[in-house]
Amino acid sequence: MIRVLSVVSEMFPVVKTGGLGDVAGALPAALAAAGAETTTMLPGYPAVIAALTDATAAHEFADLFGGPATVLRGSAAGLDVLVVDAPHLYARAGNPYLGADGREWADNGLRFAGLGAAGAAMAAGVAPGHDFDIVHAHDWQAAMAIVYLNFHPGERPGTVLTVHNLAFQGLYPAALFPRLGLPESAFSLNGLEYHGKVNFLKGGLSYADRITTVSPTYAQEIMGVENGMGLDGILRHRADVLSGIMNGIDDTIWNPATDPLIPGRFGRGKMARRALNKAALQQRMGLDQNPDALLIGLVTRMTTQKGLDMLVDLLDDLAADGIQLALLGAGDPDLEHAFVAAAEWNLGSVGCVIGYDETLAHLIEAGSDAFLAPSRFEPCGLTQLYALRYGAVPVVSRVGGLADSVIDANQAALAAGVATGIQFWPATPEALQSALHRLMALWRDKQAWERMQRNGMAADVSWRGPASRYVALYKSLLAERG
């Protein structure tokens, strides 16, 4: 059994701000079934400390960037975890990354350098009985584990860095570097240095033995200038160790046949009960109780990356066409205000809830006829995978994991009976409107529509395939290292 230390800044259901938490919570069980035993290292946020059971001290740091810290070993949400209990870094209420003013904590550089340093120390064997073959770091918040391990003088495990979203890099002033405890050579073109600043993600990309992203298409996209977010050069330089492994979903949680959060549980052979969810969603969102209306759902961050600005200008036309929209999300205040105003202007046709509600998210997937994800770029996306699983036909832009997971309903795919949704490109209001016109035409063809629903529900979007590919990657790396 391969022993993996997964270093990550959030893990569902203990703490979650987005898809990263979902991945960290679901992947360990799938890896175990595929032959890899995972221990997850997390920062000791209040929610993590509260969820920790059977805790014992594994190692103590006299000073971890400004105060003492203890690495606790225990369980949380049924998973083996190591928790960095450092109150001076992590004992803060609310969002793991942001203060009450919505801005990053001023010491986030030290907070996540601390996570990386603790992860590297544990992986390097500072605590007897905690041995690992692979350190798998997720995103910039954990990338420093790989940087610290690169400069460890003795033997070290193999290292894998997964980039969940290249747009977030952990960029800090050069004045931070002397506090990190690294040799001067680490602040270089081939290390942490990025235009005179410290870039945590670039450091991980520079030193990782293997780099993965969360879909094959995104792995190709980020090597280009348009989607490389300033790091395309190093990604092209390291193309020989870069690959894309599509995320999966936890199909024990996202299962329409057993989901306790929806009123009408259903399956491919019992689709009639799905109508109960549509009616409940219409009621919850203040939409007209019309079973024949085409209801489109969205669960998203409200940002330009997610393409929400393109949708705003189309809402009046969609309502005029009899289409209903149910949106759950939060983000850019201007977009929030625009959608709230659109909901007030189009009463009964547009429903908008600002924030995040796990129960409502499940209801939107289970009750919407179609699901919209018009992102300008999308490393993987999970909501369209939930939509496939729940029989909501996805309408997606042809980028990243959206392109990899949805089979477009073009003439050939419809004729072959394999279509699962609609893709469009470019990410413009005109292309989106054209895609929605295609959607309306398919909605009127009930036979084609039901075939797409059933195709999507039959697709394997679980973690089984991705987990086997990660284990194959681990084995390849270990064989290479001897």
Q: Is the pLDDT of residue 332 over 90?
A: yes
Whether 258 maps to a domain, the answer reads no
> Which tens digits make up the pLDDT trace of 83-92?
999 999 999 9
Statement to judge: residues 445 and 471 lie in one domain? no
| Residue 94's pLDDT band (cuts 50, 70, 90) | confident
> Which tens digits make up the pLDDT trace of 385-426?
999 999 999 999 999 999 999 999 999 999 999 999 999 999
Copy the structure tokens of residue 337: 């205000």
Which phi and psi angles does 366 have, rounded to 5°?
Answer: -85, -25
| Residue 183's pLDDT band (cuts 50, 70, 90) | very high
Whether 264 maps to a domain, the answer reads no
Residue 473: which residues within 8 A CB-CB, separation 6 or more? Answer: 160, 210, 212, 243, 245
| Partner residues linked to 350 by β-bridges | 325
CA gap 316, 323 in Å, rounded: 10
Statement to judge: residues 428 and 468 lie in one domain? no
Q: Please provide the size of the chain in residues.
A: 482
Statement to judge: residues 280 and 171 lie in one domain? no
Statement to judge: residues 345 and 235 lie in one domain? no
The pLDDT value recorded for residue 101 is: 86
CA gap 457, 453 in Å, rounded: 6
In 116-196 the beta strands, taken as DSSP E runs, fall at: 134-138, 158-163, 171-172, 193-194
| Residue 213's pLDDT band (cuts 50, 70, 90) | very high
Q: Is the pLDDT of residue 321 over 90?
A: yes
Statement to judge: residues 139 and 205 lie in one domain? yes
The pLDDT value recorded for residue 18 is: 84
| Residue 100's pLDDT band (cuts 50, 70, 90) | confident
Statement to judge: residues 335 and 414 lie in one domain? yes
- pTM reported for the whole predicted model: 0.94
CA gap 285, 127 in Å, rounded: 52
| Residue 474's pLDDT band (cuts 50, 70, 90) | very high
> Which tens digits make up the pLDDT trace of 120-168?
999 999 998 899 999 999 999 999 999 999 999 989 999 999 999 999 9
Statement to judge: residues 87 and 235 lie in one domain? yes
Statement to judge: residues 59 and 90 lie in one domain? yes
Residue bearing tokens 């929605």 = 436
* CATH code assigned at 431: 3.40.50.2000
Whether 266 maps to a domain, the answer reads no
The whole domain housing 279 covers: 271-458
Please count the CA atoms within 13 angstroms of the CA of 360 that sit on its side-chain side: 19
Q: Is the pLDDT of residue 482 over 90?
A: no
CA gap 1, 448 in Å, rounded: 46
DSSP annotation of 11 reads B
149: how many CB neighbours lie within 10 A of its CB? 24
> Which tens digits make up the pLDDT trace of 246-287?
999 999 999 999 999 999 999 998 999 999 999 999 999 999
The pLDDT of 8-17, averaged and rounded, is 96
Which phi and psi angles does 131 have, rounded to 5°?
Answer: -110, 135
Residue ranges of alpha helices (H) inside 61-107 are 87-90
Give the CA distances from residue 409 to residues 268, 418, 440, in Å, rounded to whole numbers and listed in that order: 19, 8, 12
Statement to judge: residues 224 and 370 lie in one domain? no
The pLDDT of 2-18, averaged and rounded, is 96
3-class secondary structure, 392: coil
Stretch (H or E) spanning 83: strand 79-85
CB-based burial label for 6 (10 Å; 0-12, 13-18, 19+): buried
Statement to judge: residues 287 and 242 lie in one domain? no
Statement to judge: residues 79 and 210 lie in one domain? yes
Contact 82, 71 (CB under 8 A): yes
| Partner residues linked to 72 by β-bridges | 57, 83
Q: Is the pLDDT of residue 102 over 90?
A: no
The pLDDT value recorded for residue 326 is: 99
Q: How many domains does the chain have?
A: 2
Query: Nearest-CA neighbor of 391 among 255, 196, 212, 217?
Result: 255
In 333-451 the beta strands, taken as DSSP E runs, fall at: 350-354, 370-373, 393-397, 422-424
Statement to judge: residues 192 and 310 lie in one domain? no
CA gap 325, 429 in Å, rounded: 16
Copy the structure tokens of residue 164: 């969940």
